Amino acid sequence: MNGRQSALLTAGLAATLIAGVALSARLLVEAGTSADFTARNLAPALSHPFGTDQMGRDMLARSVTGLALSLRVGLMAAGLSVLLATFMAMVSGLGRQADRVAGFVTDAMLAMPHLMLLILLSFSLGGGTTAVIIAVAISHWPRLSRLLRAELLQVSVAPYVETSRALGRSRLFILRRHILPHLAPQMLVGFLLMFPHAILHEAGLTFLGFGLEPSRPAIGVMLSDAMRHISAGRWWLAFFPGAMLLCMVLAFEAMGSAARRLISPREAQC
Amino acid sequence: MLEARSVTIGVARRDLFRDLSLRLAPGKIMGLCGPSGSGKTTLGRVLAGLHPHRAGQILLDGLPIPRKGAHPVQYLAQAPLATMNPRWRVARVLAEAGCPEPDLVAAMSIDPDWLERFPHELSGGQLQRVSILRALTVRPRYLIADEITAPLDPISQARIWKALTDLAASHGIGILAISHDAALLGRIVTSGIEAIGARPA
């Protein structure tokens, strides 16, 4: 098996895991929210592999549905953020004057305290899933944008771009065929690093009361709830949702590095 | 006729040379030699429109070179690997210039097997031939060959220059051959060797 094939296999496995979580969450919505007060605070056993919480809800079902919700929030927030960052980096590539304006906006965003901005945005948008997504997206693009800008400036003076211009290719062609594909791995890595970040911010905002409604089975809600029960010995309330979140993040990470190997063929052969 | 009329060329804040004039006729091969760091490559890049000049004019048949479309003077680099997108297979690298003519493909003896490979999977000589074919596809009037055979063994070197001298004669392409190798220049030039001096230390 060569490098490309093993990378494809890893990416496929990770994608299957993620898709599996997203799909099984649809089947388990009922089980995750229905309370059974005869089965409260049960330790993990065959009937409830992840145990039950203080309201008798099955933790496996809750973890999976929570993960699917986090997945949605994380994907949307990180995706939007990467789009914003790419757009700003492209603006920087237009010319010196445009670069100055884009640089100023980026610096201004970076100068604002991160959590403050998140809370203000989420609060002013009225809370809930959409507000969290927008708040995370708006507050997280500048770092990636800086990275993409540096990469863009570097590739735009690469000999092969220069040659393309000499061969009579247009600016748009060069931007689409040479520069954007070159930025893709950075965008992907940025996206993957932003993903767990977005989920954690979702949990943080929810904990502070500016995020998701406490009734929703989100990983963030579950983890902050579980904090109160850990001292009572109910470790499964925090352990399983946390471990599943970790698996999900690792799956994304594996998918990202596999994709990077596929995108740059030279790396795939070593 | 490709002409440099009293051009001044510089890198950063220093002028490499002032008032340099040069005439390259179609179908002829002219040599350009000079010590390392004397600005041979920069001069070649200026002629191919890849580097700005500070004064003077670069003229093609007495007219300034149009900015649009493929440049009529194509630059061939010593290390062609960097001039190819590392993510593209050779077929796509060639297609960027257009569809190469079969007789040119034959002249450069390009193996169809290479087309499916990535540039880094070809040897130096093969890569240089691909790069020459790509430059020829846009039907340039002149070529700047900047040490294109310097890292190659004598046999590949001879093959490439044989093909280029034939093309220069048959297609009327003027070639500026930049090289340190006096023996090589002696064998290929048809219109004299221009020497540019060392810059004042």
CB contacts of B49 in chain A (<8 Å) are 166
Query: Looking at per-residue confidence, does A208 or B158 come out higher?
Result: B158
Which residue range is the domain that position A263 belongs to? 3-25+77-268
Q: Is residue A67 part of a domain?
A: no
Distance from CA of B84 to the nearest CA of A (A): 5
- Mean pLDDT, chain B, rounded, equals 89
Q: What is the ipTM of this complex?
A: 0.88
pLDDT score for A266: 60
Q: Is residue A32 part of a domain?
A: no
A159, A166, A182 member nearest B82 (Cβ): A159
Nearest CA in chain A to B77: A159
pLDDT score for A241: 86
Q: What is the value of pTM for the model shown?
A: 0.72
* Strand B14-24, strand B2-11: pairing: antiparallel
Q: Is A4 on the interface with B (CB under 8 A)?
A: no
- Edge to edge, the sheet with strand B142-146 lists B73-76, B142-146, B174-178, B29-33, B193-195
Q: Do B140 and B75 meet the contact criterion of CB atoms below 8 Å apart? A: no
pLDDT score for B120: 92
Q: Do B157 and B149 meet the contact criterion of CB atoms below 8 Å apart? A: yes
Greatest Cα pair distance, chain B, in angstroms, is 49
Interface contact flag, A168 B74, Cβ < 8 Å: no
Interface A-B, measured as beta-carbon pairs within 8 A, has a size of 48
For the ranges A157-166, A168-177, A215-224, the one whose mean pLDDT is highest = A157-166
CB contacts of B100 in chain A (<8 Å) are none
Q: Do B145 and B178 meet the contact criterion of CB atoms below 8 Å apart? A: yes
Return d(Cα A199, Cα A205) in angstroms, integer: 10
Q: Is residue A85 part of a domain?
A: yes
Q: Is residue A256 part of a domain?
A: yes
pLDDT score for A269: 52
Q: Per-residue pLDDT averaged across A103-111, rounded? A: 92
Interface contact flag, A167 B134, Cβ < 8 Å: yes
Q: Is residue A154 part of a domain?
A: yes
Q: Is residue A167 part of a domain?
A: yes
Return d(Cα B137, Cα B173) in angstroms, integer: 12
Interface contact flag, B69 A168, Cβ < 8 Å: yes
Return d(Cα A253, Cα A258) in angstroms, integer: 9
Q: Do A51 and A240 meet the contact criterion of CB atoms below 8 Å apart? A: yes
Distance from CA of B140 to the nearest CA of A (A): 10
Interface contact flag, A168 B86, Cβ < 8 Å: no
Nearest CA in chain B to A163: B83
- The domains located in chain B, with CATH, are 2-63+71-83+139-195 (3.40.50.300)
Q: Do A77 and A132 meet the contact criterion of CB atoms below 8 Å apart? A: yes
Among B200, B192, B201, CA closest to B33: B192
Return d(Cα A107, Cα A73) in angstroms, integer: 26
- Work out the burial of residue A141: count CB atoms within 10 Å of its CB; fewer than 13 is exposed, 13-18 middle, 19 or more buried: buried
Q: Is residue A62 part of a domain?
A: no
pLDDT score for B200: 45
Return d(Cα A225, Cα A241) in angstroms, integer: 11
Interface contact flag, B138 A266, Cβ < 8 Å: no
pLDDT score for B174: 94
Q: Which of residues 176-205 of A touch B (CB under 8 A)?
A: 177-178, 181-182
For the ranges A18-32, A81-95, A197-211, the one whose mean pLDDT is highest = A81-95
Confidence of residue B178 (pLDDT cuts 50, 70, 90): very high
C-beta pairs of B59-63 under 8 Å, 24+ apart in sequence? B59/B1, B59/B2, B59/B3, B59/B4, B59/B5, B60/B1, B60/B2, B60/B3, B60/B141, B61/B1, B62/B1, B62/B3
Please count the structural domains in chain A.
Answer: 1
Q: Is the pLDDT of residue A214 over 80?
A: no
Q: Is the pLDDT of residue B184 over 50?
A: yes
Summarised one tens digit per residue, pLDDT across range A22-62 is 888 888 777 667 777 777 777 787 777 888 877 778 888 88
Q: Is residue A45 part of a domain?
A: no
Tell me which DSSP letter residue B77 carries. Answer: -
Q: State the CATH number of the domain containing residue A239.
A: 1.10.3720.10
Q: Is the pLDDT of residue B24 over 60?
A: yes
Summarised one tens digit per residue, pLDDT across range B98-145 is 998 888 898 888 999 999 999 999 998 999 999 999 999 999 999 999
Return d(Cα A156, Cα A94) in angstroms, integer: 11
Q: Do A200 and A208 meet the contact criterion of CB atoms below 8 Å apart? A: no
Return d(Cα A137, Cα A113) in angstroms, integer: 15
The tokens for A260 are 């990077």
Summarised one tens digit per residue, pLDDT across range B133-159 is 999 999 999 999 999 998 888 888 999
Least confident residue range of A109-123, A131-145, A201-215, B55-69: A201-215
For the ranges A32-36, A208-212, A266-270, B20-24, the one whose mean pLDDT is highest = B20-24
Return d(Cα A254, Cα A259) in angstroms, integer: 8
The tokens for A86 are 């790419």
Adjacent-strand bridge partners of B8: B55
